[in-house]
Amino acid sequence: MRAAVFANPGSIEIQEVADPHIQESTDAVVKVTATCVCGSDLWYYRGLADRESGARIGHEFIGEVVEVGADVRNLKVGDFVIAPFKYSCGECAHCKYGMTANCSSGGIWGLRGVDGGQGQYVRSPLADGTLVKVPGKPDREMQRHLLALSDVACTGYHAAISSRVKQGGTVAVVGDGAVGLSAVMSAAILGAEIIFALSTHEPRQQIAKKFGATTIVNARGDEAKEIIKDLTDGVGVDSVMECVGTAQSSQTAFDILRPGGTIGTVGVPHGLEWPAGKMFTNNFNVAGGVAPARVYIPTLLDKVLAGTIEPGIVFDYDFDFENIQGAYEAMDARTGTKAISFLD
Ligand SMILES: [Zn+2]
Ligand SMILES: [Zn+2]
């Protein structure tokens, strides 16, 4: 089978690798029908995060179950499934508390001997706890929306839930990557009345508007802060969804938050520090972290199947799987928001 492999920073290769087989009785093997590249894949692509040369990569995929272990109860061969970006048991204390990304026997695809999601087949550990069954055989258009639930839609939703978006609230989203755009969608689902989307990138502004942004703030940093302060009569917003994770994006989030407001942070932290004094003085709340995607997928799946949301519109770059290098390059250069490939 063919799979993406990290060669060196800046270099992703498609290689022939061994077909996966059931190893544990709780495993399933999934034939991947669609996979994608994540903004977080760019950290090792850019050489900013460690990844061994030769490692399997990718953590977002959907597909069809082709083999199940003897102890798999909820899935059968032929089922179509969504894989959350982390596998989890569904039964440990953390899973039962809703923190499936912190499962005591779970992990992320592509590490510790577990297959990456950018490949033709994937062995899923803990299949019952991990994979979410989708009714029927979704067509490609539907698969775009389903694949978005693997990570970005759930991570954006986690930003909205963590930042306590309320019906009628005034909110802002910092970050216009696929997660930030998905946070805009999620704020709209939760009933926010005014949604500021910070974006200086025209194609992404268009997606933000489709997802329900009421005001595009075509600025960043201090300039964005001044605009939002002006538009909220100097008050600031109730909720900020911080979807980048850098010092600047975090600073902006604190600058535009009203006293007593909440930041939902879902960008992997890179060099940010929280201002303890300012947080104390202003009763600022901060929540968020790695999204428990497995918990959110059923909720968002219902909305996708009902046609209420179309999270797959974040995919604006389709690539031939054998040319995955081009997809990484496009996302690195921001010429693509999120890259998708169909494998069958
Ligand atoms: Zn991801
Ligand atoms: Zn667990």
pLDDT in tens, 190-219: 999 999 999 999 999 999 999 999 999 999
Say how many Å lie between the CA of residue 26 and the centre of ligand 2.
13
Interval 126-144 mean pLDDT: 97
Categorize the per-residue pLDDT at 238 as very low, low, confident or very high, splitting at 50, 70 and 90: very high
Say how many Å lie between the CA of residue 245 and the centre of ligand 1.
14
Interval 102-128 mean pLDDT: 97
Res 273 pLDDT > 90: no
Say yes or no: 19 and 145 in one domain: yes
Residue 53's nearest CA partner among 102, 104, 10 is 10
Domain termination residue (choose one: 245, 271, 288): 288
> What's 22's domain CATH number?
3.90.180.10
Structural domain boundaries enclosing 63: 2-151+292-342
| Closest ligand by atom to 314 CA | 1
DSSP 60-85: -EEEEEEEE-TT--S--TT-EEEE-S
Categorize the per-residue pLDDT at 287 as very low, low, confident or very high, splitting at 50, 70 and 90: very high
pLDDT at 344: 81
Q: Structural domain tally of the chain?
A: 2
Say yes or no: 145 and 42 in one domain: yes
| Closest ligand by atom to 153 CA | 1
Say yes or no: 219 and 162 in one domain: yes
Say how many Å lie between the CA of residue 234 and the centre of ligand 1.
35
Query: Cβ(209)–Cβ(195) under 8 Å?
Result: no
* H or E element that contains 156: helix 152-162
Domain termination residue (choose one: 264, 288, 312): 288
Say yes or no: 299 and 238 in one domain: no
Show the beta-strand stretches assigned E in 191-344: 194-198, 215-217, 237-242, 257-265, 285-288, 317-318, 339-342
Up-side HSE of residue 268: CA atoms within 13 Å toward CB? 10
Interval 60-66 mean pLDDT: 98
Say yes or no: 63 and 164 in one domain: no
Say how many Å lie between the CA of residue 39 and the centre of ligand 1.
6
Say yes or no: 172 and 233 in one domain: yes
Say yes or no: 195 and 129 in one domain: no
> What's 181's domain CATH number?
3.40.50.720
pLDDT at 270: 85
Say how many Å lie between the CA of residue 300 and the centre of ligand 2.
21
Say yes or no: 284 and 297 in one domain: no
Domain termination residue (choose one: 288, 303, 331): 288
Average pLDDT value over all residues in the chain: 97
This prediction's pTM: 0.97
pLDDT at 104: 98
3-state secondary structure 124-141: ECCHHHHCEEECCCCCHH
264 pairs with which residues across the strands? 241, 287
Say how many Å lie between the CA of residue 41 and the centre of ligand 1.
7
pLDDT at 251: 96
Res 291 pLDDT > 90: yes
Say yes or no: 269 and 227 in one domain: yes
Say yes or no: 212 and 264 in one domain: yes
Interval 42-68 mean pLDDT: 95
pLDDT at 271: 85
Say yes or no: 128 and 191 in one domain: no
Say yes or no: 62 and 99 in one domain: yes
